[in-house]
Structure 1
């Protein structure tokens, strides 16, 4: 991860202020916080690229409001063996273990004001052990 100015205005314009709840891998968030700087007269903004969302895995940018330098990071790591995001894999596995289906996951996300509902595809729900 490295800080870089968000030069493309289209990208910055596409980012949205974060609201609602998210499931976050705190190691990834901490690593991004260590990368960002904030100018003297600036402040830290947490922005979200909603177009890059994959289920419950969100893409965020920590951005200096003054110089628009930003650090991108995802809220979850990839699972190496199948290139899916860990949060989606865990949610699907947990749902299967407790005996709830895709609609129940969707309802949970809706009630928690979490984007990404449904967090998994129909086929993933039916193929989990």
Structure 2
């Protein structure tokens, strides 16, 4: 599945290949980085993300974690944890976000009460999603 997206001002454009999963994150850092009650992401292999225009700004939100965003409009785009082979891309910046509906929630232990009904009926995990068998 090929997807494309970009930031609010249009300076950053990207292309994704082979989406692996989609989920809602309720961790405090994602909430603060996005200004939202929860943040929906798609996971893709690092090599399956290509910026086709513009170069993202980078903020190291914790050791080994880079958050890539538009340095002009501030749109958060990529969460990149160096120890992982996958990166996460914000669903809201996709041109067609409805193509990848989230299937679960992570960091539910940090979820705000106002966000507990998002994606009603989806599994909730208190931390990261358990590894698939």
- Taking structure 1 as the reference length, what is the TM-score of the superposition? 0.25
**Greater per-residue strand proportion:** 2
**Greater per-residue helix proportion:** 1
- Taking structure 2 as the reference length, what is the TM-score of the superposition? 0.25
